[in-house]
Protein backbone atom coordinates (compact mmCIF):
# COMPACT_ATOMS: atom_id res chain seq x y z
CA UNK A 1 0.00 0.00 0.00
CA UNK A 2 3.00 2.34 0.21
CA UNK A 3 2.91 2.85 -3.57
CA UNK A 4 -0.53 4.42 -3.31
CA UNK A 5 0.82 7.25 -1.22
CA UNK A 6 3.64 7.89 -3.73
CA UNK A 7 1.10 8.08 -6.55
CA UNK A 8 -0.97 10.50 -4.48
CA UNK A 9 2.06 12.72 -3.93
CA UNK A 10 2.95 12.58 -7.63
CA UNK A 11 -0.55 13.51 -8.80
CA UNK A 12 -0.72 16.19 -6.12
CA UNK A 13 2.43 17.84 -7.50
CA UNK A 14 1.25 17.51 -11.09
CA UNK A 15 -2.10 18.95 -10.06
CA UNK A 16 -0.57 21.86 -8.18
CA UNK A 17 1.68 23.04 -11.00
CA UNK A 18 -0.73 22.17 -13.81
CA UNK A 19 -3.69 23.91 -12.24
CA UNK A 20 -1.58 26.95 -11.38
CA UNK A 21 -0.53 27.14 -15.04
CA UNK A 22 -4.15 26.74 -16.16
CA UNK A 23 -5.25 29.48 -13.76
CA UNK A 24 -2.54 31.79 -15.06
CA UNK A 25 -3.51 31.03 -18.67
CA UNK A 26 -7.19 31.79 -18.05
CA UNK A 27 -6.57 34.93 -15.96
CA UNK A 28 -7.29 33.55 -12.50
CA UNK A 29 -5.11 33.61 -9.37
CA UNK A 30 -2.37 30.95 -9.77
CA UNK A 31 -1.80 30.58 -6.01
CA UNK A 32 -5.36 29.52 -5.40
CA UNK A 33 -5.22 27.24 -8.43
CA UNK A 34 -2.12 25.54 -7.10
CA UNK A 35 -3.79 24.73 -3.81
CA UNK A 36 -6.97 23.49 -5.47
CA UNK A 37 -4.98 21.39 -7.94
CA UNK A 38 -2.90 19.93 -5.12
CA UNK A 39 -6.05 18.85 -3.31
CA UNK A 40 -7.78 17.46 -6.40
CA UNK A 41 -4.69 15.61 -7.63
CA UNK A 42 -3.78 14.20 -4.23
CA UNK A 43 -7.25 13.14 -3.13
CA UNK A 44 -9.05 12.26 -6.36
CA UNK A 45 -6.37 11.28 -8.88
CA UNK A 46 -5.61 11.89 -12.55
CA UNK A 47 -9.09 11.41 -14.05
CA UNK A 48 -10.68 14.07 -11.87
CA UNK A 49 -7.64 16.30 -12.27
CA UNK A 50 -7.86 16.33 -16.07
CA UNK A 51 -11.64 16.75 -15.85
CA UNK A 52 -11.06 19.75 -13.60
CA UNK A 53 -8.61 21.25 -16.10
CA UNK A 54 -11.06 20.81 -18.98
CA UNK A 55 -13.81 22.40 -16.90
CA UNK A 56 -11.55 25.35 -15.99
CA UNK A 57 -10.49 25.93 -19.58
CA UNK A 58 -13.88 25.74 -21.25
CA UNK A 59 -15.87 27.67 -18.64
CA UNK A 60 -13.50 30.62 -18.96
CA UNK A 61 -13.89 30.83 -22.74
CA UNK A 62 -17.66 31.33 -22.67
CA UNK A 63 -17.82 34.45 -20.50
CA UNK A 64 -18.54 37.10 -23.14
CA UNK A 65 -21.72 39.11 -22.94
CA UNK A 66 -24.17 38.68 -25.80
CA UNK A 67 -25.97 41.89 -26.68
CA UNK A 68 -29.64 41.67 -27.56
CA UNK A 69 -29.55 44.15 -30.43
CA UNK A 70 -27.17 42.03 -32.51
CA UNK A 71 -28.29 41.23 -36.04
CA UNK A 72 -29.11 37.65 -36.88
CA UNK A 73 -26.20 37.31 -39.34
CA UNK A 74 -23.61 38.38 -36.71
CA UNK A 75 -24.46 35.73 -34.13
CA UNK A 76 -20.95 34.23 -34.18
CA UNK A 77 -19.12 37.39 -33.11
CA UNK A 78 -18.25 37.81 -29.41
Nearest to 38 by CA among 49, 27, 23: 49
pLDDT attached to residue 21? 87
> Phi and psi at residue 77, in whole multiples of 5°?
-80, 140
**Domain coverage including residue 51:** 2-59
Whether 66 is in a domain gets the answer: no
**Is 64 a member of any domain?**
no
List, in order, residues 6 or more apart from 77 with CB less than 8 Å away: 70
Mean pLDDT of 63-67: 50
Residue pair 74/39 in contact by the 8 Å Cβ criterion? no
How many structural domains comprise the chain? 1
- What confidence category does residue 29 fall into, taking pLDDT thresholds of 50, 70 and 90? confident
Instruction: State the Cα–Cα distance between residues 2 and 47, nearest whole angstrom.
Output: 21
Amino acid sequence: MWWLSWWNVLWGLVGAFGTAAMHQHTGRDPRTGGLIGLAVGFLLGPFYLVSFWVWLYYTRLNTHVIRKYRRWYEWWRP
